[in-house]
């Protein structure tokens, strides 16, 4: 069970029509790989973010499957093409069933 | 069949040698199997995909990699020397501005990082980058 999970997103607020913008996301999460052992030699159960989806106005930008080889506090950077004003929605899916959501508005001038 | 001392020594040595070699083989073949499972054994071209990874990573817990493959539907990343070679799969949707992404991965030790792009015409492109790791990142 991951605690104190905080998602942070950096996406531009404004863009011109047709512009390709860079989006950066970071979520604080231990990404326990399920390979490590604690002091008593017991395996620490796997607990990771296994999927991340970013949409812009309900159109998929990226859909990423994450495995235990992704570092603690998964950082993801990608680009989106903005044609009209709208909202970015970011969703992270945890192994324990939790879903973390974040959104960011963008206006096209 | 009678087991003579000579035969016994012979078989013990062979099986011990086989046992010693097997674990190494299975690790080295890890990404190879995963890759052929992904591509279905299809040939991969070396052009059309770029993988940027550091030559030397001081800390195997966070190694920043960047991958880019214009025209790709999907990019999959493998770490050849990790206990589980799969790292991440990027699927690009209609609103993607480019078929490129950056993330940070764990590497258990010096190894090849492999990126394979599945192009929209069904072909595959592959890029490999060797990374030397000073401190491994799998809690070992």
Per-residue model confidence as pLDDT tens digits over A28-80: 999 998 888 889 999 999 999 999 999 999 999 999 999 999 999 999 999 99
- CATH code, B61: 2.60.40.2470
Segment 40-69 of chain B within 8 Å of chain A by CB: 61-64
Contact B43, B116 (CB under 8 A): no
Q: Do B94 and A59 touch (CB under 8 A)?
A: yes
Condensed to tens digits (0 to 9), the pLDDT of residues A14-29 reads 999 999 999 999 999 9
ipTM, two decimals: 0.91
Put simply, whether B27 touches A (Cβ < 8 Å) is no
Res. B46 pLDDT band, cuts 50 70 90: confident
CATH entry, A7-104, from 2.60.40.10, 3.40.50.720, 2.60.120.10, 3.40.50.300: 2.60.40.10
Instruction: Pick the residue from chain B with its C-alpha nearest to A63.
Output: B91
B71-75: Cβ within 8 A, 24+ apart = B71/B99, B71/B119, B71/B120, B72/B48, B72/B99, B72/B117, B72/B118, B72/B119, B72/B120, B72/B125, B73/B118, B73/B119, B73/B120, B74/B117, B74/B118, B75/B49, B75/B99, B75/B101, B75/B115, B75/B116, B75/B117, B75/B118
Assigned domain for B14 exists: yes
């Amino acid at each position: 069970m991951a605690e104190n999970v905080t998602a942070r997103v950096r996406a531009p607020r404004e863009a011109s029509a047709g512009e390709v913008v860079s989006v950066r996301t970071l979520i604080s999460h231990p990404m326990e790989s399920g390979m490590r052992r604690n002091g008593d030699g017991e395996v620490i159960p796997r607990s990771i973010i296994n999927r991340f989806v970013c949409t812009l106005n309900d159109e998929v930008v990226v859909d990423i499957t994450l495995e235990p080889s992704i570092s603690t506090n998964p950082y993801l950077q990608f680009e989106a093409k903005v044609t009209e004003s709208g909202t970015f929605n970011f969703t992270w899916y945890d192994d324990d069933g939790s879903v973390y959501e974040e959104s960011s508005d963008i206006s096209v001038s | 069949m009678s087991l003579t001392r000579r035969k016994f020594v012979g078989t013990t040595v062979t099986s011990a040698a086989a046992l010693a070699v097997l674990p190494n083989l299975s690790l080295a073949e890890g990404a190879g199997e995963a890759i052929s499972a992904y591509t279905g054994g299809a040939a991969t071209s070396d052009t059309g995909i770029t993988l940027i990874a550091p030559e030397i990573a001081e800390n195997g817990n966070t190694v920043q990699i960047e991958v880019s493959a214009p025209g790709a539907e999907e990019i999959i990343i493998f770490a050849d020397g990790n206990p589980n070679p799969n790292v991440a799969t990027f699927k690009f949707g209609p609103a993607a501005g480019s078929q490129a992404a950056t993330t940070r991965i764990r590497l258990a030790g010096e190894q090849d990082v492999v990126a394979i792009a599945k192009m929209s015409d069904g072909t595959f492109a592959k890029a490999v980058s060797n990374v030397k790791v000073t401190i491994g990142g799998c809690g070992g």
